Amino acid sequence: MNEPKNDSLKIWTPLLFAVILIAGMVIGFKLRDTLRGKRDIETIVLRNDRLEQMIHLINEKYVDSVDVNRIYQDAVTGILSHLDPHTVYIAAEQVENVNEDLGGGFYGIGVEFIVIRDTIQVTSVLPGGPAERANVQVGDQFVKVGDTVVAGKKITSEGIIKLLKGKQYTTVDLWLKQPFREGIRKVQIERDIVPIYSVDVSIMLDANTGYIKINRFSATTHEEFEKALKQLKGAGMEDLVIDLRDNPGGYLDAATLIADELISGKKLLVYTQGKRSFKTEYHAGEQNSFEEGRVAILVDENSASASEILAGAVQDWDRGVILGRRTYGKGLVQEQYNLDDGAALRLTIAKYYTPSGRCIQRTYNKGKTAYADDYLRRFQTGELVGYDTLVVGDTTPYYTANKRVVYSGGGIKPDIYIPYDSAEVSAPLIRMLTSDGLRNQMWDYYLRHRDSLKYRSLNDFILSFNNEEEVIKFYLGTLEADARKTAEALLKYPPNSRFFRGQVKAQFARYFYRNPGYYSVVAENDKAIRRAMELLSGETYLQIIGR
C-alpha cells in the first residue's frame, strides 16, 4: 500500500534537490555581489579618507596659506585627466549657467546689449518680455542697476548679467538714458522667463527653399524646429536647408526628434552603447512633418555631437545631402551627475553609432592636447582650405541605405566638400570686422541715423540700404594713419571689399530686423547656402543619394 507513495517520493526528490541547488546558486551570486559592493564601498571610503587626510594636513601644517577649494578642484582635474576629453567637472558656481544654456531659458529682463566705451547699451528688446512691458527701448544706456552704478565703471558683460538675473517675479530698478537726449529715467522691471532660442532663424531663401539655422540642441529645440517648419511650409517651402555649422551639439533626444521629422517609418536613427551601458536604440516614429521634400544639411569642423547624430542619420538613410567640411568627430555620450556640494560631473557613459553602425568619435589616444589641436592640424594640412584630405581612423567600410560607402572614426564626411574661404576671411580682415572700433562706429552711426533710415519691410531694406560706403568711410576716419592705410589696402582687394560690405549691411539688418534681417543678407553671399540651393534644384541631388 505504500508503493505509490514511495514512487511519488522518487519522482519529486530530484526536482526538490534541483530547486535547492538553483536557490543556493542565486543566493551565492547575490552574496558575492553584495560583498564585492561592500569591498568597493570600503575601498572608496578608505581612498576618500586618505585624500581628506592629506588635504587636512596641508591646510593645518603647510608653511604657507593655501586655498583648500582649489586643491580639491586640482585633485578632481588630475583624476579626470586620465579619462576622455569630454568628461568634465563643473564647479558649483558654474552649474546654473551650464544648465541654463541647454534648458531653454532663465529668469531676467529680456534685453540684448553691448558694452561700448564702458557703457551698457541695449541693442534688442525681447518682444513681449519684461523689459518691453517696462518700455525699455533700443539704444537705452544703463546708468544704474539697483544700488550699483554701472556707467563708466568698466563693468563686464558677465557682471551686468549677474545684476539683471534673479528669481522669477522679483523686481529690479534701472536708471536709463537715451543717447543724444537729456535726462535719466527710472523703470522698475519684474523678472520673468527669458527664452534662450536654439533656432536662430527660419526664413525663405527663394519661393521654394526654406532655411533653418540651429545653434545648439536644447530642451526647446524640437518645439522651435516644429514651429519653424510649420511657418515655412505655410510660406510655400518644398525644399529645406538646415544649417548646423558651429553647432556644438547638446541633447541627444532633441537631435533624434528632429531626425524623426525628416525620416519616415520606424527606421533606426542612432544607438548608444558602453561597457557598462546597455545598447539603447532610437527609432523614428510619430514625428513626420517633412518626410518628402529635399533636404540639404550644412556642417563644418565645429559641428559636433548631436549635430553629427542628425547629419549621420540623414546621410545613412540617404534622406538628404550633407555639404561643408568634415565634422568635429564627437561620438561620446555624457550623463550629468549632481554632487553633494552643488557641483556636477558630466561623465562619458557610452558611445553613439549612426544607423549604419559607424562610430564617428575621433581618436584621443595621443592625449588631450593632441585632441584639442586637431583643428590646427587640419588647417595646416590644407584640409580646411581646399583639399578634401580626410584620413579615416577606421578603414572598415559601412554602407548607407542605397549602398554608398561611408567610414567611421573621424566625424561625418560631407557628400559635397566646401572649403574654408581663406581669401574672404583672412585673419587681418576678420580682426577688422570684429574690432571694437568698427562695432562702436556702426552702432554710433545707427543711433544717429535711425530716425531717418525708414524701411517698409525687410525686403525693402535689402533693396534700398546703400549706406555701407558711408559707414566704412565713417569708420576709416576714426583710425590712426598707419591703421587706416592698412585697412584701405585690404579693402582694395575686391573679394575683401565685397565680404566686408556684406557684413556691414548684415549688421545693420540685425539692428532693424534682428536675426531674420542678418541671415537674409548673409545668405546672399554665403557660398555653402548658394551651393545647397543649386543642388536642391538639380538632378545632381538624386545622383548623390543614389536614387
Residues involved in catalysis: 305, 316, 330
Read off the DSSP letter of residue 297: E
Going from the C-alpha of 357 to that of each of 269, 312, 482, the distances in angstroms are: 11, 10, 57
> What is the grid cell recorded at 454?
525708414
> What is the grid cell recorded at 357?
553602425
Residue type, 82: H
- DSSP 3-state of 49: helix
280: which residues sit within 8 A by CB, 6+ positions away? 271, 272, 273, 350
Instruction: Kindly provide the b/e burial profile for residues 493-531, where b requires at least 16 CB atoms within 10 angstroms of the residue's own CB.
Output: eeebeebbbbbbbbbbbbbbbbbebbbbbbbebbebbeb
Please state the separation of Cα 48 from the chain's center in Å: 36
- DSSP 3-state of 265: coil
147: which residues sit within 8 A by CB, 6+ positions away? none
Q: Is the dihedral of CA 379, 384, 387, 388 positive or negative?
A: positive
CB 92 within 8 A of CB 341: yes
Cα(474)–Cα(512) distance, rounded to whole angstroms? 20
Cα(164)–Cα(174) distance, rounded to whole angstroms? 9
Read off the DSSP letter of residue 64: S
Report residue 427: phi and psi, to 5°: -55, -45
Cα(156)–Cα(9) distance, rounded to whole angstroms? 87
> What is the grid cell recorded at 122?
541695449
Please state the separation of Cα 378 from the chain's center in Å: 21
How many contiguous H segments (helices) and E segments (strands) does the chain have?
A: 18, 21
> What is the grid cell recorded at 543?
545622383
First to last CA, the chain: 82
- DSSP 3-state of 77: helix
Cα(518)–Cα(195) distance, rounded to whole angstroms? 20
- DSSP 3-state of 144: strand
Cell 543614389, located at residue = 546
Of 254, 250, 247, 226, the C-alpha closest to 297 is 247
